[in-house]
A and B are shown apart, each in its own frame.
Chain A
Amino acid sequence: MKKIMEKVLNSVADQKADGDLIFSGSKSLKMSSQKGSISTYNVSSSQMLGIRVIKEGRVGISYTEAMDDESLKLLVKQALQNAEMNEPNEHETILDLKGQLTDEAIYPEPPVDISIKTARALSLEEGVKTLDPRVVAVPYNSYAESEYSSQYLSSRGRGTSYQDKSYSITSSALMDDKGKKSSYYDFHIAHTFEALQWNKVIETSLLHARNLLDEKSLPTGKYNVRFSEDSLKSLLECFSNFYSAKSAMDKLNPWASSLGELVMSKDLTIIDEPAHPGAFRATRFDAEGVEATSLTLVENGTLKAFIHNSMTASFYKTKTTGHAYRSPSTSLQVSGTHFVVKGKNKKPMPSKYLEVIQMDGLYSGANRVTGDFSVGVKGYVWEHGQKVMTFGGITLSGNLIEILKNVEVVGENLMASTDQSFFAVPLLFHGLSVAGTG
């Protein structure tokens, strides 16, 4: 592939342009079961090559899934044509970096026969059904494995190579108890087949589905709320534009002019940590071939930095933080790696609070410019350290900018999201609006 990429870049140079290429390839296997037998079985292999050209300050993007000579010529031609349409952008350049960076993970394990994989995949349905007669279906269950590789090459001489492999499993429980219905699903991801936690996804799905059979609404009012790690990750990721220099450039970041200001509780520090020890996979470099380093975004409540690529860095006259993101078919963006929310001045848990375990409709119910959000939620009511009730059928509303100002730290240990990409100490948010009964 590298030879093909070099050939394409030579033709870009012939047109007196700069450029960079991203190649991505993947292979995957996925199966799921229904009524005790494998009902779907998918295998795939695919590849895509994407180019970004910069000529006379104008940037153009093009991509292809065909790698024959004609398609590659068309790739360059279209990118140059697209560049002609765009206004010159003095801030977007191909970085003058050289040398090769490699991050090709290998996870040694003995080969696993397909019959074993199939038997375990079947257990994701069977395991849930046999443990509770009220389970009427396991609508979401799957075993998947995928291999992913990518290569980057720029006309300035930077190359990167990335390779990874993952296994994932999903299970769910749809329960019916005398007409009352509930459902819940869980998943797990690992680098080896052996590390998959089959029982965990089965038991977690069942545990919450059983509890949700008893869900009740709550009286409309203001509540203190603790989000599960997955829910908190979803909430903070939905508003990740708050930390994005690209969103600030585009006037879509409400904190655009808040650098150096107190934006949240002084008890909170937020770091983007590419190589966090608990992360599923460390990030070594970004999509421009810049080595990734840890970046403190918020320190003791004060906004210290935005995440940058080279374009946003040039615009704001600063240095890239190594957070460029680009797939073969997209333009240059920014993206965080692993958010780590640290806290201090731990407070005791209040006598009563809500624990949110599931949020629905977050992305449609959130305004990323204003910070307003309103979502359907389910979870548990805690009183005096005991779960006393399961709630559902309510909406939770608030404004992230406001609720971050009086959040309390209620635990010391960092907790990880299920996908091991987000880490936070337990936090308690005050005064969120619940719409329910009454």
Chain B
Amino acid sequence: MQLLKSNVAQDIITHGLSCGAHFVEVFVERTHNESMVFKNSRAEDTQSGTIFGIGIRLIHGEQALYGYTNSTDRDELLRITSLLGARIGKSGTSQTVNFETLNYPKIPVLQDKEVDAKYKLSFLKNIDLGLRSDKKVSQVALNFIKKKQLIEVYNSDGLFATEERPYIRLIHQVIMKDGTHQSEASYGPGAIGGWEFMETLNTREICEMLLKQASNTLYAPACPAGKMPVVIDNGFGGVIFHEACGHLLETTSVEKKASVFWDKLGEQIAHTALSAVDDGTISGAWGSLSIDDEGMATQKTNLIENGVLKRFISDRLGEVKTGHKRTGSGRRQSYKFAPASRMRNTYIEKGPYELEQLLSSVQDGLYARKMGGGSVDPSTGQFNFSVQEAYLIKNGKITTPVKGATLIGTGPDIMKKISMVGQNLELMAGTCGSVSGSIPTTVGQPPIKVDEILVGGEA
């Protein structure tokens, strides 16, 4: 069953065009959310809910007009369209658009398998028990998230496209305490799919990994400060590329010249060792989509090849404003946001080296086993990241664990200093917040070596 009658969508689009818009789009969304917080060894917060709404976008030249409502009432939708259309201040031709359903290649999505709620609870209980096997663990919090998003897109090009996207994620957090020493470890695997993804998780290994991380950093001294070479391990280490470069390649920044890379297409912006992609088509990956939120089939986009900037991440309005072709990257958190060019599954492609080769090339430096979050100012390229789990490197060997490390620099500078890229590529789920809200994205990389970066820590 369609969320919005197509004749109502047709009326909105006809009305928008008659107001002078060059392009009209109707985005309809119904998302059912479920979550459970398992904390203090029990289910503490189980909730669910449904969001539903309609977003209407009129584009006139480079001007974007956007409105949304929870109502499916035709008159209310036309009223919002009129409100937006009045901003154009011109009248256009009244034309009726006939919709043609978009056929697109569906990315292989894990099945949306469902299991009994009590089974989910016992699954979480077992992880909690595993993590509490260490007496120094003072708290375990497991945040289980499941949602099913159904979207419909109609536009004045005659497009009708729909997609159902199931998401599942389990965020683990463990706190360890011994006297005045405290440490924290977290891990948040997620996928586009259902419970069968949870069945692929090796919960015993996850517990061991988290306990090891928390134990190693429990008594760790503060990280020394200064410029040094850093080896960043795979998986969530990819957040550094996401923040330091990925956001700077979105046309949302490029169109305002608010990216240091806005005029660098075809130029060497990174070390020749580095190639990177933004790929929406990976089976089951947390940031994958069959179509974007503008109804365009998603794709694999080669961003950087051997250090040369090949492509920007572009949406419809980005194409209008910059001329860079759309890449199936128009994304939004919900109907409450107009779409914008956003990353999907973004990662550095694998290189030739073993991790040991990267480490052995460093005399004195830092091994960032696991990165935390970070932020970037796209206009200047300045970024900073926290490191969750870090060790000093001495004479090519991993030695003392340290805590409180941050990495700071600028995107253009660090991209040129990634001199070695390892083989073992790993992807990790994350949530990216930007102009069109918080969306599921994947970051990833093999281990990389940065020749020099400023490490924040104890002076």
Which chain A residues have a beta carbon within 8 Å of chain B's beta carbons? Answer: 34-35, 37-48, 50, 59-66, 71, 74, 78, 81-83, 85-87, 89, 136-137, 139, 174, 181-183, 220-222, 250-252, 254, 329-331, 360-361, 363-367, 369-370, 372, 374-376, 392-397, 433-438
- Which residues in B have their C-beta under 8 angstroms from that of A37? 62-63
Q: Which of B46, B260, B409 interacts with A86 by CB under 8 Å?
A: B46
Are B70 and A47 within 8 A (Cβ)? yes
Give the distance to chain B from A21, nearest Cβ to Cβ, in Å: 13
* A65 contacts B51, C-beta separation under 8 Å: yes
> When the two chains form their complex, are residues A434 and B459 in contact, meaning their CB atoms are under 8 A apart?
yes
Size category of the binding interface on chain B: 35 or more
The interface residues of chain A lying within 8 Å CB-to-CB of B216 are none
Closest 8 pairs between A and B when the two form their complex, measured CB to CB: A395-B456, A364-B373, A435-B225, A63-B49, A61-B47, A376-B384, A139-B258, A433-B459
Q: Is B350 located at the chain interface by the 8 A CB criterion? A: no
In the complex the two chains form, what is the Cα distance from A417 to B357 in whole Å? 50
Question: Is B145 on the interface with A (CB-CB < 8 A)?
Answer: no
Closest to B31 in A: A65
Closest CB in chain A relative to B304 CB, distance in Å:
21
Q: Is the CB of A375 within 8 A of B63?
A: no
B342 to chain A, nearest CB (A): 16
Chain A CB within 8 A of B150 CB: no
Are the CB atoms of A360 and B84 closer together than 8 Å?
A: no
Count the A-B residue pairs with Cβ separation under 8 angstroms: how many? 234
Partner of B225, one of A137, A331, A395: A395
Q: Tell me if A41 and B46 are in contact (CB < 8 A).
A: no
Do the beta carbons of A435 and B49 come within 8 Å of each other? Answer: no
Contact A370 B70 (CB under 8 A): no
B406 near A34 (CB under 8 angstroms)?
Answer: no
Taking the nearest CB of chain B, how far is it from the CB of A91, in angstroms? 11
Chain A residues in 8 Å Cβ range of B74? none
Chain A residues contacting B70 (CB-CB under 8 Å) are 45-47, 65-66
Please name 5 further chain A to chain B contacts, defined as beta carbons within 8 Å, in addition to the given A44-B68, A59-B45, sorted by A numbering: A174-B379, A252-B175, A364-B385, A375-B456, A397-B456
Q: Chain B residues with Cβ under 8 A from A83's Cβ?
A: 46
B139 adjacent to A252 (CB under 8 Å): yes
Against A, the Cβ 8 Å flags (1 = close, 0 = not) of B435-459 are 0000000000000000000111111
Q: Is the CB of A250 within 8 A of B40?
A: yes
Residue of A nearest to B259 (CB): A139
Name the residue of chain B whose CB is nearest to the CB of A222: B459
Q: Which residues from 345 to 388 on chain B have a C-beta closer than 8 Å to any C-beta of chain A?
A: 372-375, 377, 379-386
**Could you tell me if A220 and B226 are in contact, using CB atoms closer than 8 angstroms?**
yes
A42 and B384 within 8 A (CB) = no
Q: Which of B48, B62, B80, B459 contacts A43 (CB 8 A)?
A: B80
* Cβ contacts under 8 Å, B408 to chain A: 376, 393-395, 435
Q: Does B158 contact A (CB under 8 A)?
A: no
Label chain A's interface by main secondary structure.
strand
- In the bound complex, residues from chain A placing their C-beta under 8 Å from that of B36 are 85
Q: Is the CB of A38 within 8 A of B377?
A: no
**Contact call A331/B45, Cβ cutoff below 8 A:** yes
Q: When chains A and B are docked, how far (Å) is the Cα of A344 from the Cα of B40?
A: 41
Please name all residues of chain A whose beta carbon is closer than 8 Å to the beta carbon of B338 when the two chains form the complex.
40, 42
Residues of A within 8 A of B139 (CB): 250-252
B 34-68 to A, binary, CB cutoff 8 A, 1 in contact else 0: 00110110111111111111000000001111111
Contacts of A375 in B (CB 8 A): 384, 406, 456
Q: Do B42 and A87 touch across chains, with their CB atoms under 8 A apart?
A: yes
A50 CB, min distance to chain B CBs, angstroms: 7
Query: A74: which B residues are within 8 A, CB to CB?
Result: 50
Alpha-carbon distance between A151 and B459 when the two chains are bound, in angstroms: 51
- CB<8 Å pairs between A and B, sample of 16: A37-B62, A42-B65, A62-B47, A85-B117, A86-B46, A183-B380, A252-B175, A364-B373, A365-B385, A393-B409, A394-B456, A397-B404, A433-B225, A433-B456, A433-B458, A438-B226
In the complex, what's the smallest C-beta–C-beta distance from A400 to chain B, in angstroms?
Answer: 12
B459 and A361 contact, CB distance less than 8 A: no
CB nearest to B176 among chain A residues:
A369
* Complex contact A50–B260 (CB within 8 A): no
User: Do A136 and B257 form a contact, CB below 8 Å, given A41-B66, A329-B49, A367-B184?
Assistant: yes
In this complex, which of B49, B121, B380, B409 has the most chain A Cβ atoms within 10 angstroms of its Cβ? B49
Give the CA-CA distance A250 to B37 in the complex, in Å.
12
CB distance from B211 to the nearest CB of A (A): 16
